[in-house]
Chains A and B, each alone.
Chain A
Amino acid sequence: MRSQPLPSGRAKNGSKKSIRSGWQLYLFLLPAVVYIVIFAYVPMAGVQIAFKEYDFTKGIWGSEWVGLDNFSRFFESYQFWTIIRNTLLLSLYSLVISFPLPILFALVLNSFIGQKFKKIVQSVSYMPHFISTVVIVGMLVQIFNPRTGAFGSLYTFFTGNVMPDAFANPDLFPHLYVWSGIWQGIGWSSIIYIAALSSVDEHLHEAAQIDGASRLQRVRHIDFPSILPTATIMLILAVGNLMDIGFEKVFLMQNDLNLSSSEVISTYVYKVGLTIGAGDFSFATAIGLFNSVINFVLLIIVNFAAKRMGNASLW
């Protein structure tokens, strides 16, 4: 195989003949391939139990097919609408608030003068991203502690009463969830926009200044359009994940009192599948599959729509 290294790497017959295509490269691939087959593709095969009635004594292959039974059980369960509603509410609320904010932050930060200040603000802003979810929720719980937390103290200071427990109130749950997410993510999410903004052509700004454009106008007409492609891609990804409220944070923030707002698809799957006695694997898998399919369909729809509108798209 290494008899004739060709300068262009291409053989005369046009196929990509290797410079070296030795067995060694496959050795390099081996760990990754083994990993992906075992940890990604084998579970994919396990998805079939969504259409079966999984019985652990019979194993995956021995369990009976029941078609769409598990799915209809899910749709007809009394919790179905609550769960879907909660998931969508949290997603949409998150999306509407946390999509524009990093963009605005990036625009304001980028257009500001005063280098040291900019650096400080930027560096501080993405510190929270590296804090673990557990600590974030832990801080949230502490800060909203009616007696000892910062908010609790301020509430008592202003009203003279002890603040009611914020985590016991289902109505407050979406707000706590979304705004703590913004606190954690605004700095980090803005990086990609700041990066895009930093590649804006210097001369555009100079020309605009000569023409008498104000700073605000320059931001609106030069900076903002330059990040639209990036923003579109990010929006596509965000919408594609609409039904995909992450398990970790919601699970940590849940308690028996706010469950009517805080039970989402992923936590329900966990409860149904892995906690209640000998969990119902088939049922839980079916719900998970339902979730994945919806996400995928959403992704395709949004990507298609973006393409149609002439903007950047994922593919």
Chain B
Amino acid sequence: MGTARAKPTSKAESGAKKVRFSTHPTSDKIYYVFSGIILTSILIAVAYPLIYVLSASFSSGTAVSSGQVLLWPVDISLEGYQAVFKNKDILRSYGNTFLYTILGTFINVTVVMTCAYALSRPGLRGRNFFMILFTFTMFFSGGLIPFYMLMRNLHLIDTMWAMVLPGALSVYNMIIARTFIQSSIPGELVEATSMDGCSDIRFFFSFVLPLSKAVIAVITLFSAVGHWNAYFNALMYLNDRSLYPLQVILREILIMNQVDVSMIMDPELQQANVQAAAVLKYALIVVATLPILCVYPFIQKYFVKGVMIGSLKG
């Protein structure tokens, strides 16, 4: 990888030595200063909204609704979070999302890995046929309405399977997995084990799976994030409120402003309710996104390296 250059070490073999900033030519120094400004601006532009949301979530309702929060929490309080955990809709949808994510990811990984394994075997008859069968769907699809009709005919509308089954096979992921298996399982291993009488099934479980940890990790992560963030399927195929995933509830609260501001006549109480609604939104954003951010370091570790390696291998 090119990190030999990116990380100047003092080892002679890398060929790059640590160069002090002051020894760069002037034109380079100007370039670095400008670059630094650009990068810092981007850093601030990306980080500020995230920090703002976090700070607002820990502020009091009054502070948020009067627009006092600019960077740091004002009037630190947990009322936003308290409101989140009191809301039954939120809690139930959180649970639903956990279920859909775990089940959906498991299905995804299973379908993708089994298919990729089968297609990676050189001896598979009709291999080209299957490849075309799968890749054609990347370019053509029936569209929204025919798909909806299918879901209806299969009686999947208003069931949890509507969240978990569509998208079970991502052809894109499957191709990546297949390439990975092909390039990391040596042919000699296949021959040696087959001569010893190892069946396809046994080979899969004993060799392919343990050796494919990296690609399984990547697919798992992305599949999980995808399921966690999914709302389109719910919007289309779910009408029963008790099945709603987190994102649908989020939409109601964050975008459609449908917080539980019940018919309170008392203006003071109403005011308090509106203020609570404002902080609730920020706290809700944090609570909804937290699991993803926990997963984030793993993504860094596995995926970014994977992309680097993948792109080098072409």
Contact = CB atoms under 8 A, between A and B. Distances in A.
A248 B7 contact: no
A150 to B, nearest CB: 6
Interface stretch (B78-86, B141-149, B210-218, B260-268): B141-149
A20 B123 contact: yes
A204 B223 CA distance: 39
B27 A215 contact: yes
B160 interface: no
Interface in A267-315: 269-270, 273-274, 279, 281, 284-285, 288-289, 291-292, 296, 299
Contacts of A22: 199-200
B186 interface: no
B255 A46 contact: no
Contacts of B250: 132, 134-135, 138
Contacts of B244: none
A96 interface: no
Contact of B2 (A35, A117, A199, A284): A199
B254 interface: yes
Contact of A198 (B6, B143, B144, B225): B6
A210 interface: no
Interface stretch (A76-84, A86-94, A139-147): A139-147
Interface string A39-77: 111111111010000000000100000000000000000
Contacts of A200: 2
B123 A17 contact: yes
Nearest to B64: A148
A202 B255 contact: no
Contacts of B187: 9
Contacts of B36: 112, 114, 117
A131 B289 contact: yes
Nearest to B130: A29
Given A32-B134, A202-B16, A273-B144, A132 B27 contact: no
Contacts of A142: 53, 254, 281-282
Contacts of B24: 215
Contacts of A252: 251, 255
Interface of B: 1-7, 15-16, 19, 21, 24-25, 27-28, 31-32, 35-36, 38-39, 42-43, 45-47, 49-50, 52-53, 64-70, 110-112, 114-115, 117-119, 121-125, 130, 133-134, 137, 139-150, 154, 165-166, 168-169, 174, 187, 190-191, 194-195, 199-201, 204, 225, 228-229, 231-232, 236, 247, 250-251, 254-255, 278, 281-282, 285, 288-289, 292-293, 295-296, 299-300, 304, 307-308, 310-312
Contacts of B1: 198-199
Interface residues of A, number: 108
A281 B149 contact: yes
Given A9-B187, A32-B114, A135-B285, A113 B255 contact: no
Given A9-B187, A148-B278, A230-B311, 17 more contacts: A19-B191, A29-B115, A29-B118, A38-B154, A40-B142, A43-B141, A43-B150, A49-B146, A105-B42, A113-B21, A133-B229, A134-B229, A134-B231, A134-B255, A138-B281, A142-B282, A274-B144
A2 interface: yes
B255 A150 contact: no
A109 B43 CA distance: 11
Contacts of B169: 31-32, 35-36
Given A134-B247, A138-B255, A200-B2, A156 B125 contact: no
Given A25-B121, A131-B292, A200-B2, A274 B236 contact: yes
Interface stretch (A170-178, A183-191, A256-264): A183-191
A208 interface: no
A159 interface: no
Contacts of A230: 311
B255 A141 contact: yes
A132 B229 contact: yes
Closest 10 CB pairs of A and B: A18-B123, A43-B142, A46-B146, A138-B254, A198-B2, A132-B229, A288-B143, A32-B115, A43-B146, A153-B67
Given A43-B146, A195-B308, A18 B43 contact: no
Nearest to A290: B143
Given A130-B225, A131-B292, A115 B46 contact: no
9 contacts: A18-B124, A21-B121, A142-B282, A143-B49, A202-B15, A205-B5, A216-B27, A273-B145, A273-B148
A146 to B, nearest CB: 9
A206 to B, nearest CB: 7
Contacts of B50: 127-128
A25 B200 contact: yes
Nearest to B310: A195
B111 A281 contact: no
Contacts of B228: 132
B191 A9 contact: yes
